[in-house]
Chains A and B, each alone.
Chain A
């Protein structure tokens, strides 16, 4: 959709004319036009979703708590909370005067209704299993002792309760008004508390979110999905544009104001354009090479270690991400508050040692098949560089390019020798390790089967003592480097390109754009 913003003079003229004629008159609407590479799946938070869906829905709904910029947990609809001494009961004190999009005031009853709806299997909430038998804890009771208080009782203490509630892929466990669903319980549209409300959604074309005028913003700075949220434009239009070249042309021609999730290949070109500004933010995703430790050849840790030692990860990160991301061999992302001195110690290139290990292991050029995909260009590029660096040592890696769905299938079944892969963002360090380690017998997708580490992981999930958790993560990192179940290469970066008249945009660790606090000038 091509829309021209009216010039300043026209706006002033119209406004004056309106003021002269009518007692109340809306000024010209400001619209921020951005891009999605694929349409969202639904407007129902945390159910029928993907990353794009989470990102758009986060403009419309909020939960009790939210992730701050540094991935710590901050208050959102809850003003504050207490945890009982046994660590099982969380009492949330709600903010007063929070309005839903339909004008109703949020009360404890809405919170209880929303939480119970998420926990109802019929809702198909993505994070329901976290509160099931194999999850972090069961929820035993949800009560509202008064209209401003909600108490949630768990069957066991866990450090992950609040981070799970805040997870964007869980829809931030949004507190919504019951008008969001029909009498039959079927989802209609989000009646949330966010700074934007749902506008028009033309499937395959665009989705609009419109400013919610009665939004009750928190004080303090904008921070992640927490903090202040003010809609400074009347409407944000997410245009569905699958082709990145078309999106780029849209930005340059002025039909788009912002493109997030920009590909690295487009960066160089856009940087040199005077009308465009670039935003680079470290991201939480994790790109690396996975090994199947049950493979007849790769079960030998010496071969895996040799591959790790022949790589110059700094160079890989630099070439693949064109200087926008740093190398990282740790399972924890660089931006994590738990990323410290220990995590910074990974693999250092050592060709002599690698050669020695290969001789000891009796490696004689047997081919190693490595799966990669082109959906994520940086994954494929990383695979090619790893192949080239390993080649120099006589390690024979063959790359097999699959489409993403096929690769995911092979990943979930553990059916591969090696694969270049990207994990999506995990906002808690325990979850970062949880995505890697587990028993292969029951969870074939896990790359790292080490029972001692799994025990440490369990402990890290039970306690919220920061020092204790740090010690556990440090030890897990040392073992991760020693066992080489995979080689983490880098965390990537969130790249966005905006026209110069867009002010206030900032990326953060979570790779979805936020358009509150962003204005068009």
Chain B
């Protein structure tokens, strides 16, 4: 187990290095540069040159990379070109916002989707199955910004139950923070229910066809026990993998939802930084996301033996 962990961690190093190189290069391949964006249409060439020199953007790109990497190894992600804040604390602060929404929403979604998928598979091709699959496909197909705006208009504007804009950190006031989080979490939960239900249903159908399920039924095990003890644990493993992938993907930022609900999350930070060509922040965000992805997948893999005794980590 520990050997496996060590090997997996060692494998992340080349992955992250490749990501670092790719991120650094790609960001600079986008046309436009931060100084031009900052100075706008009234930029004098002298001003541009002076500012580029101050930011170190006039140096050769390989040299800039080496500088960046050297600092990175000491844990220094650099400073934002836009507002001169240290990148890592900025990312961590924004990440908290995204992480709470994503973890709660995916958790809730899994609680709904896994039983729903199981029941749909159990009653495959029935009206119930059709209803579950239909709803899941509908939820999956709705763009998040549209769903978010609809919820915002309904609960914020028409019913006035929830605030329309704003944000309070959980550290300041838990209940107030919750009030601002309800709609974004609801939006994301609904969409993720669509994603996960389909997976849970497909996995359950596979398992329901297997011989041990027939055997269990033949020896007279009650149907709820067949589902609960034999189908669910076996069908959950593939869903768990998908949850891992979804988490990794979403923790990198839910820019659209954050934008609609005006939350200062990681996704919005990344998008704003790309538009501003704020290289250090873009690089930091992408690298951070890669790390999250790797970590989440590692955790998922480490959890596998819990659901499937056939898997051993060696």
User: Residues of A at under 8 Å CB distance from B?
Assistant: 1-2, 38-39, 41-42, 48-51, 121, 124, 126, 128-129, 132, 134, 169, 203-205, 239-243, 245-247, 249-250, 252-253, 255-256, 402-412, 421-424, 426, 435, 442-443, 445
Q: B277 near A405 (CB under 8 angstroms)?
A: yes
Residues of B that sit less than 8 Å from A by CB:
30-33, 36-48, 50-51, 54, 82-85, 94, 149, 152-153, 156-157, 160, 163-168, 259-262, 264, 268-269, 272, 275-277
Asked, given contacts A253-B156, A405-B32, whether A246 binds B261 with beta carbons under 8 Å apart, the answer is yes
Residues of A within 8 A of B47 (CB): 126, 128-129
- Of the candidates B44, B82, B261, the one whose C-beta lies within 8 Å of that of A129 is B44
B179 to chain A, nearest CB (A): 8
Q: Are B37 and A405 in contact (CB under 8 A)?
A: yes
Separation of A42 and B38 alpha carbons in the complex (Å): 12
> Are B36 and A204 in contact, CB atoms less than 8 angstroms apart?
no
Instruction: Look across to chain B and name the residue whose beta carbon is closest to the beta carbon of A121.
Output: B50
Bound state CA distance, A41 and B85, in angstroms?
10
Q: Which residues of B contact A246 (CB under 8 A)?
A: 149, 152, 164-165, 259-262
Residue contact B153 to A204, C-beta cutoff 8 Å: no
Alpha-carbon gap, A50 to B39, bound state (A): 7
**Looking at the complex, which one of A124, A242, A245, A255 makes contact with B51 (CB distance below 8 Å)?**
A124
Q: In the assembled complex, how far is the CB of residue A255 from the closest CB belonging to chain B, in whole angstroms?
A: 5
Q: Would B149 and A42 count as touching, CB distance under 8 A?
A: no
> How far, in angstroms, from A50 to B36 measured CA to CA in the complex?
11
A409 and B32 contacting across the interface, CB-CB below 8 Å: yes
Considering the complex, give the chain A residue whose CB is closest to the CB of B44.
Answer: A129
Contacts known (A406-B31, A435-B41); A48 close to B83, Cβ less than 8 A: yes
Cα distance A132–B149 when bound, in Å?
Answer: 51
**Given the complex, which residues of B lie within 8 Å of A412, measured CB to CB?**
36, 43, 48
Q: Are A252 and B157 touching (Cβ within 8 A)? A: yes
How far apart are the CA atoms of A355 and B54 in the complex, in Å? 52
CB <8 Å contact, A408 and B260: no
Q: Which residues of B contact A256 (CB under 8 A)?
A: 165
- Determine whether the beta carbon of A424 is less than 8 Å from that of B42: yes
Known: A1-B168, A124-B54, A443-B45. A204 touches B31 (CB 8 A): no
Q: What are 20 A-B interface contacts by the 8 Å CB criterion?
A: A2-B164, A41-B38, A42-B84, A48-B82, A128-B47, A203-B264, A204-B264, A241-B262, A242-B259, A249-B153, A250-B164, A253-B163, A255-B165, A403-B275, A405-B37, A405-B277, A410-B31, A412-B36, A422-B41, A435-B42
Interface centre among B42, B156, B168, B272 (most CB of A within 10 A): B42
Whether A404 touches B37, Cβ cut-off 8 Å, given contacts A242-B268, A249-B165, A410-B31, is: yes
Contact A253 B54 (CB under 8 A): no
Q: Are B44 and A134 in contact (CB under 8 A)?
A: yes
Complex: A204 Cα to B84 Cα, angstroms: 14
A253 to B162, CA, bound (A): 10
- Give the contacting residue for A42; candidates B31, B36, B83, B156; CB below 8 A: B83
Known: A246-B261, A253-B160, A405-B277. A48 touches B165 (CB 8 A): no
**A255 close to B163 (CB less than 8 A):** yes
Most buried by A among B165, B260, B262: B165
Determine the chain A residues whose CB is within 8 A of the CB of B45 once the complex forms. Answer: 442-443
